[in-house]
Structure 1
């Protein structure tokens, strides 16, 4: 029993004080220099004092010894030091009277040490006792005590630690509340402010994982950025800075998984890489930091497919597993991470060795994790995925049974309101459905469907997961219906309708366009599936058409919202119009060219800019709702109404062709009705086969488009249903707009038919054709009339001829490109146009686009097979500064919109990425979104010489009829018919579309060069 200090002999008291001061000075020197020997000597002195004083030991000495032993534990990881630290802290607290000013401080130190031991050995007794003693300390501390904030922060930290073990939402809520109090009470210049912000950020991140609240993860990253920037870069503060950077990186990776922002994951890897590279080999937390780095690399691999990332993820995870002590609870985290990335590489490389090793290491993690530990749920879920993947390789029924059993255990243990429950429900349904396909057990199918429906109803899950669940549930409904004469499609149709309505939430305006593309690519075909299902459920044509409009062209739709005509709003509510314009301009500023900071010292300004965009997005949504509440504006920026659909088809009809596995239909929109024409001869499988054949053969010497054009006529081109039954013999041509969906957008519907001599069964001989990405895009374009700007209307014709493109190994020369532009240059006076020939560089062309009426490009296009927004027109500086879809899409020319963009290059209207075909991301659509009223483009390769003749006929039509909307369509129609009918002579040289990642093929003959020309416009 330690005796009271009052009864201590005076000389012994003096000796203890002197040695205590000496030891503290050595410990402080260690904190400044990192010299471990100084700390060791300080501890030896304090231990000597304890031995010397015996029962007369000063509690202050015990407290300091406990602190020093804990510091050495944090450096070396020695569990013996931690145990002795707890013993010393315990004795110090017991020996200190409850009314002593230091009693609460010593309880807090004891609680912190107990919390550290819990993190090491997982004993619930330690964490419960830690919280108990710190609670006592907090309750004994007055509101105005200078240490109250510190003690509350420690209490919050311990509550967060227990939450990670128990999952108690009460613990995490209380933790955030108490630390929030401390942060709000801490001045900007307080030395502990960064520490308290770090604690708050980590707690908010932990709650996000539990509840899925996007506000929590955004705020967590914000406060961590402040904490990092408030931490000095001196060696004295390095351990704290490294910890804060690691926490920040973890949070950024977490947000990336939710939003898909590539900047988040790149920045996360950058900051954690810095930490790992500056962490000594013997640092106790090195394994933890390596595991986080490996996890971030693995997450980025899932987005980019980079083998360098997945290989490095496995390498650093392997190192972490090998250096973490066997008795560390965090070892299971390291094992799980290693298993996950082995699994991902196994899927990519079809490696059974990686798969077997992944199963082994996650099995070890499961066995080493207590039954009631929340992490065990996710280890079991991951193990189930591994068993399922191995079943796909081996066909072993034991593996599929193992997958079902382990995921079932995970599902039974996870709380009903946990965001991760969706993943367990999805995976269990997936493996049950897999077993159904093997054993034909209807019970497995029914249970899978019920699990997926439950997953859809998990409102705490990320919207992207919920949409995915709606899709797979709809697939199960479809499977259930096979072979049944009647089936109730109502539930499936409602599910898909709600999923389509969720799509905008996975691509907020604040997100970069490339990140929106990544998120939306996951749901390719959703809108078509929904439209087909509601028709099957007996809903009307307008209902189905609305879903197509909502679920296709989401990115373009967001831009059209922001760039829409608000003249009526300006007239009636000028204040709201000004606010709309201000927020629109902030959100419509491109973020695709923003890069993550290289230095961690500049992280805060970058995140601040991102946060401002998110806040602007929220305000913009609120403003739109407020505008819709005003009289006469209830439909402001909403999808077109049935009346607006029909108005858009006056006087010329619109044909929307929907493509889905269940059924294919043509929506015929006319001035007085919207109806559906089923297309039974258009099975999705056949369309996909034709698309594959078209891609592989259209540039071959033997390419013959005749069978494809005849198939399109028979299966799709329903002109007779619209009354277009005969060949037109005069100049009074009717016109239709085509809006194809899915891979059908890669086909030339305007060229469909039987083109034998004398045949009238062709689209080209019955109607003029135009295309639109959607009905709303058509309406949007018509609302932006060519109008007077502040100055005189532009008469500039911007002419670009790339007769020689540098850097192309083949086909770099286009001898007729210059001829084409010269022809147009000569026509300009009769068109009342002033020709402008810029420098053939991106920045010069973009500058002149701002003031042109017509832009004509003759040269090469490049269609990007993986990233359509990187498709570009090839100018002189294309290799270093390409003029991309993204660049053009970001132009805002609507105050003085150009009349015509003529892209006399290949594949300017093509999107080679199947998962993004419904987003319509190509050069033609980019010019439309920039503000061009009309755009001429091509679906694939065209003849260099014939390009001259097609352009000449179109511009001569404009000269004869004036710059009218119908004249553009008529001019291209005349030119294409003349080329088809052999009234133009041309050579074999073509304007290739250079496909990134493709192999050049032989050019085809000229007799099909009339097919790929298309008109997009109003």
Structure 2
């Protein structure tokens, strides 16, 4: 008990000393006594937090004395001492604690402060019930009501931390908003019309709640509001300061500046807006000024730990922001500013060091030296100025000497850009000294990290010195680091890979086969560790390096490298990230190139099934992830099946803001499921035997490109071995040339959107282009496809006894978007496309709707006032469909709003869209169909529950053409409808002619619904095949009949 009182009295003494300048020392002293007694009650009152309140009678005298001295409007409600204790003692405790700590204190925080150990969620619930009960008895205009609201907000936030209930988080935000509204100078209950002095504190609470919600949801609206509040708070505290006191005097100003800097820096990461970055830099600079201006820390000695910590953190943040600005601008002036700031930080540390303490003993100096060496190394890369390189060397040397005295840092000492010395003699002694210092460290984790850093350093030295002794020691320290790393440590994989890279470097210089073998063994072991690597992307890059080196020296190891890389994809393309993040990751990884390289590697080993398995993992990855969120759980135990369905539903519908957390729960659950006998392969990549079932309706032809040739893999049927063809005359360059020709032909025809003019379709209008007509251009393009791709495939099918029927194309890479289906001079096959074998399998697994076919028609002639061009044939198209289909629901004109269309789609089995469509190349999931008054986006389509869906006819624009940078993802509207639940889709590679809409619709649906029979989803391909043949028989130009394609079963 006495110790607790002494601890509180010590805190009180510091608080009163700091506040004495403002004349509130005596008040704080009295308040400290109350805090001490309150803490004593907390120790004696048992685990029930409400006992803190119920024992308030014992402190009546103390409370009255505190209230009189503090004079903050605590009214003497003698009938409710609990209320007095809560509203007076807690309120002023927040004022006291604000001076000591950079945050205000709520009721829930006070419980933590008094060291009470109870169930946090239960504690928060009990206190919340009491506070809300008191609030319900407090009149709306009562001055204590805002404080009750803030206490409620704090307790709701505390309970959210413990339970994860999103309702509590959102309620905490809303409650804080209500409190702030009451604090407004213009609120009717505010008789004085003066801003409440606690308003900045409560604004900071709202800012914190919004910024924390942003980190979970990544909703930029929350981040924008948090930034606005931070800026507003700084303005408020500036206005509150009296004329004779500078704004810097507010005790919270530095904290608010740093928080504003953090928020602006975060928004810059999201938007790359340099104004935000400059604002973040300015805010940190202002915060640094406060450490030498009028602020509560001024009276601290220069070497006081609190002052040093603030300055170090602020300087580190400033240097990081300046480095980030340089990375965006690539302006050497920005890099020079970053270098100058790091040098100033070092000078400041040197000035503060006592005469009897060597600079090498200051751990802060090591941090700044390491940062400065990276900056100088980067400048050398840009300028090739040897002076920068020498400065970088000396800086590293100093950092290494600090390591020999302070073995605390575990970070790598090398510049991230790999800039190393050509002056080997200068840096070598520092490395030797660092080695000796590291060997004396006791902590295993830190020691392993330091040894790894030293191994990296010596390997880099070897690149310039060619001294075998340096490489030998690099390998030795790498091994020691590995020995100190537990088998379940997330850093183990990276340390194995670092050691493997050492042997790779050594083999490249010395050519010893033993080193090559060691490299293979280590890389292989790094991808078999028990724990996921700390950075899956770094491991991906290590696998690429392994593949590249193996391709040069030992081809047999290339497939193993790709197996290792592709097994990381689920963690790199984390399902807990939103679609945009995953799409950007695919671009960054260059996944399309990696997939074709891996496929070629397997084919080089004559392992066609493995090539198909690998290719399937690298194409349509996002759509396949979405399909996995609708799993078949019939094999699972009931409780596991139910839990997986619930979690998957949240991720599929994105009904939770905390996608990453829910995704982690799903990953853990899958691990539990796969640990059970017979379920080891549940939701893992399918084997070739399973994938071959996609050919149950007819052969599937898979096309893959490589730099100097193309490969074709044909799955004839579920039981036969796959067929492999290699086309040496079809290179990636040649395919890109054909794609360019197609693009130019479409430009001539002006077929970007349905309903636009095609008046230039027969003339070569572009200067420098051939004078051939577009008809001749299309004919030559289709002839090239027939002669080099489709014709040889037909011959291979014929030699295997397949001469007609259904045929599916699965094009990847540069084959994507080429009209393979239209190149044959005969009509012996009915062509379809699929984005991946997995999506075709899902279509077969899904059962036909038991109810009679119900067709939903969406006909949008125009999109409302100021909308897109009028589509005059859409109304006629709808009439033609009505004439041949009896059970039809049609949304036309103003009825076809996005909400109405979504409702109707959930009930129908067949759907037809006659409207404008738009492909968004920047954000593919924003691609959309233009409806009346709004748009139906691809992202929305993917979340729709379409249990009855069978076939959709997209008589719109570019509904089967995706982003060229996500070429293997098939991220277009047609693919989206299939992923959402439709078993088949009719779409177009480019925009259709508006006048062809009524004819195509009437012909397709007449064939499907002839003799009033119930059509099957698999009938749609034959119906489209017939309609295209009839349209072609009308001698319409190529650009009108070629674009129509069928997808799915």
TM range (shorter): 0.5 to 0.7
Residue of structure 1 in register with 2:1044 after alignment: 1013
CA-CA distance at 1:388 after TM superposition: 6.1
Residue of structure 2 in register with 1:209 after alignment: none
1:279-301 alpha-carbon deviations (Å, 9 max, x no partner)? 43323543443333333333333
Structure 2 distance, partners of 1:676, 1:180, is 68
Structure 1 distance, partners of 2:800, 2:892, is 42
After superposition, the Cα gap between the structure-2 partners of 1:966 and 1:343, relative to the gap in structure 1 and judged at 3 Å, is same
Is 1:325 matched with 2:292?
Answer: yes
Is 1:843 matched with 2:912?
Answer: no
Q: How does 1:145-184 map to 2 (within 5 A)?
A: none
Q: Which residue, out of 561, 569, 584, partners 1:492?
A: 561
Residue of structure 1 in register with 2:884 after alignment: 827
Structure 1 distance, partners of 2:390, 2:632, is 58
1:765-816 alpha-carbon deviations (Å, 9 max, x no partner)? 563321222111111111112222xxx434334241425765357xx13333
- Tell me if the contact between 1:661 and 1:683 (Cα under 8 Å) persists in the aligned partners: yes
Q: How does 1:237-252 map to 2 (within 5 A)?
A: 241=202, 244=205
**DSSP 3-state at the match of 1:908:** coil
- Tell me if the contact between 1:937 and 1:1015 (Cα under 8 Å) persists in the aligned partners: yes
Moved more, 344-353 or 61-70: 61-70
- Tell me if the contact between 1:875 and 1:883 (Cα under 8 Å) persists in the aligned partners: yes
Q: How does 1:311-390 map to 2 (within 5 A)?
A: 311-320=278-287, 324-325=291-292, 329=308, 330-365=310-345, 368=348, 383=372, 386-387=375-376, 390=379
Is 1:543 matched with 2:532?
Answer: no
CA-CA distance at 1:217 after TM superposition: 12
After superposition, the Cα gap between the structure-2 partners of 1:1008 and 1:410, relative to the gap in structure 1 and judged at 3 Å, is farther
After superposition, the Cα gap between the structure-2 partners of 1:585 and 1:425, relative to the gap in structure 1 and judged at 3 Å, is farther
Q: Which residue, out of 253, 258, 263, partners 1:296?
A: 263
| RMSD after superposition | 5.9
Residue of structure 2 in register with 1:610 after alignment: 657
Q: Which residue, out of 890, 896, 914, partners 1:858?
A: 914
Segments of 5+ residues of structure 2 without an aligned counterpart are 1-5, 42-84, 102-111, 132-146, 184-195, 239-246, 294-301, 350-358, 422-455, 479-492, 500-522, 750-763, 765-773
1:355-379 alpha-carbon deviations (Å, 9 max, x no partner)? 3323333443465568677777776
Q: How does 1:954-969 map to 2 (within 5 A)?
A: 954-960=1004-1010, 963-969=1015-1021
Residue of structure 2 in register with 1:427 after alignment: 416
CA-CA distance at 1:302 after TM superposition: 2.8
After superposition, the Cα gap between the structure-2 partners of 1:292 and 1:828, relative to the gap in structure 1 and judged at 3 Å, is same
Matched pairs, number? 796
Is 1:780 matched with 2:842?
Answer: yes
- Tell me if the contact between 2:710 and 2:726 (Cα under 8 Å) persists in the aligned partners: yes
CA-CA distance at 1:323 after TM superposition: 5.1
**DSSP 3-state at the match of 1:738:** strand
CA-CA distance at 1:625 after TM superposition: 5.3
Structure 2 distance, partners of 1:479, 1:315, is 45
CA-CA distance at 1:669 after TM superposition: 2.3
Q: How does 1:791-802 map to 2 (within 5 A)?
A: 792-802=851-861
Residue of structure 1 in register with 2:930 after alignment: 874
After superposition, the Cα gap between the structure-2 partners of 1:451 and 1:635, relative to the gap in structure 1 and judged at 3 Å, is closer
- Tell me if the contact between 1:801 and 1:821 (Cα under 8 Å) persists in the aligned partners: no
CA-CA distance at 1:875 after TM superposition: 1.5
Is 1:589 matched with 2:620?
Answer: no
After superposition, the Cα gap between the structure-2 partners of 1:201 and 1:956, relative to the gap in structure 1 and judged at 3 Å, is closer
After superposition, the Cα gap between the structure-2 partners of 1:1007 and 1:529, relative to the gap in structure 1 and judged at 3 Å, is closer
Structure 1 distance, partners of 2:465, 2:704, is 31
Q: How does 1:385-400 map to 2 (within 5 A)?
A: 386-387=375-376, 390=379, 393-396=382-385
Q: How does 1:56-75 map to 2 (within 5 A)?
A: 66-71=14-19
- Tell me if the contact between 2:929 and 2:936 (Cα under 8 Å) persists in the aligned partners: yes
Is 1:935 matched with 2:990?
Answer: no
CA-CA distance at 1:666 after TM superposition: 3.3
Structure 2 distance, partners of 1:376, 1:743, is 53
After superposition, the Cα gap between the structure-2 partners of 1:464 and 1:366, relative to the gap in structure 1 and judged at 3 Å, is farther
Is 1:893 matched with 2:959?
Answer: no
Structure 2 distance, partners of 1:695, 1:291, is 51
Moved more, 306-315 or 815-824: 306-315
Residue of structure 2 in register with 1:188 after alignment: 127
Structure 1 distance, partners of 2:373, 2:530, is 20
Q: Which residue, out of 621, 625, 640, partners 2:686?
A: 640
CA-CA distance at 1:699 after TM superposition: 1.9
After superposition, the Cα gap between the structure-2 partners of 1:414 and 1:814, relative to the gap in structure 1 and judged at 3 Å, is farther
After superposition, the Cα gap between the structure-2 partners of 1:865 and 1:772, relative to the gap in structure 1 and judged at 3 Å, is same
Structure 2 distance, partners of 1:465, 1:315, is 34
1:83-136 alpha-carbon deviations (Å, 9 max, x no partner)? x99xx99xxx9xx9xxx999999xxxxxxxxxxxxxxxxxxxxxxxxxxxxxxx
Q: How does 1:661-676 map to 2 (within 5 A)?
A: 665-671=711-717, 672-676=720-724
Structure 2 distance, partners of 1:261, 1:519, is 19
After superposition, the Cα gap between the structure-2 partners of 1:322 and 1:934, relative to the gap in structure 1 and judged at 3 Å, is same
After superposition, the Cα gap between the structure-2 partners of 1:623 and 1:834, relative to the gap in structure 1 and judged at 3 Å, is same
Q: Which residue, out of 653, 657, 663, partners 2:699?
A: 653
Residue of structure 2 in register with 1:502 after alignment: 571
**DSSP 3-state at the match of 2:961:** coil
- Tell me if the contact between 2:575 and 2:625 (Cα under 8 Å) persists in the aligned partners: no
CA-CA distance at 1:935 after TM superposition: 1.0
After superposition, the Cα gap between the structure-2 partners of 1:821 and 1:62, relative to the gap in structure 1 and judged at 3 Å, is closer
CA-CA distance at 1:483 after TM superposition: 5.9
CA-CA distance at 1:883 after TM superposition: 1.1
CA-CA distance at 1:560 after TM superposition: 1.8
1:821-865 alpha-carbon deviations (Å, 9 max, x no partner)? 332232224xx6565647121112222212223222222111112
Q: Which residue, out of 734, 749, 753, partners 2:820?
A: 749
**DSSP 3-state at the match of 1:610:** coil
Structure 2 distance, partners of 1:482, 1:501, is 25
Segments of 5+ residues of structure 1 without an aligned counterpart are 1-57, 106-145, 162-174, 203-214, 592-608, 754-761, 987-1005
Structure 2 distance, partners of 1:426, 1:554, is 35
Q: Which residue, out of 793, 812, 823, partners 1:720?
A: 793
Residue of structure 2 in register with 1:600 after alignment: none
CA-CA distance at 1:496 after TM superposition: 0.8
Moved more, 190-199 or 519-528: 190-199
- Tell me if the contact between 1:490 and 1:537 (Cα under 8 Å) persists in the aligned partners: no
CA-CA distance at 1:977 after TM superposition: 4.7
Structure 2 distance, partners of 1:978, 1:59, is 92
- Tell me if the contact between 1:935 and 1:1016 (Cα under 8 Å) persists in the aligned partners: yes
CA-CA distance at 1:872 after TM superposition: 0.9
Residue of structure 2 in register with 1:470 after alignment: 539
Residue of structure 1 in register with 2:516 after alignment: none
After superposition, the Cα gap between the structure-2 partners of 1:358 and 1:953, relative to the gap in structure 1 and judged at 3 Å, is farther
After superposition, the Cα gap between the structure-2 partners of 1:493 and 1:557, relative to the gap in structure 1 and judged at 3 Å, is closer
Residue of structure 1 in register with 2:622 after alignment: 555
Q: How does 1:21-60 map to 2 (within 5 A)?
A: none
- Tell me if the contact between 2:926 and 2:937 (Cα under 8 Å) persists in the aligned partners: yes
- Tell me if the contact between 1:554 and 1:919 (Cα under 8 Å) persists in the aligned partners: yes
- TM-score under structure 2 normalisation? 0.62
CA-CA distance at 1:903 after TM superposition: 0.9
After superposition, the Cα gap between the structure-2 partners of 1:1011 and 1:796, relative to the gap in structure 1 and judged at 3 Å, is closer
Structure 1 distance, partners of 2:974, 2:651, is 23
- Tell me if the contact between 1:507 and 1:519 (Cα under 8 Å) persists in the aligned partners: no
1:193-249 alpha-carbon deviations (Å, 9 max, x no partner)? 9999999999xxxxxxxxxxxx99998999999998898756565565466556657
- Tell me if the contact between 2:881 and 2:1002 (Cα under 8 Å) persists in the aligned partners: yes
Structure 1 distance, partners of 2:402, 2:715, is 52
